[in-house]
Amino acid sequence: MNLAVKEVTQVEMMKIIALFRKEGFKGEYEDFQRVSGTDREFFVVMSNEQGVKALFRASLMLNAVQFQYVLDDKHTFVQEGQGADAS
């Protein structure tokens, strides 16, 4: 089974959102993507009321959320199926 292309299920999304809420995070969940090679870690894009988007790494195995970086002109999030050379 290729985990890199396996979509995040509704149940996994609910568990991830519960983890974010437990950690005190608030905002809109924009995108969920499985971390390549694992079935219990995910990248999550969230935005706040001001429209600032940030990338987080959520681990259901460790019950932890880690901030990665703010998405801006220098940092983007490549979604599955998109090329890495977006112009």
The string of DSSP codes covering the chain is --TTTPPPPHHHHHHHHHHHHHTT--SEEEEEEEPTT-SSEEEEEEE-TT--EEEEEEETTTTEEEEEEEESSS---PPTTS-S---
Assigned architecture for domain 10-71: Roll (3.10)
Query: pLDDT tens digits, the chain, 87 residues: what are they?
Result: 444 458 999 999 999 999 999 999 999 999 999 998 888 999 999 999 998 999 999 999 999 999 999 998 777 777 665 544 443
Predicted TM-score of the model (pTM): 0.80
Q: Which residues contact 65 (CB under 8 A, 6 or more apart)?
A: 19, 20, 23, 25, 56, 57, 58, 59
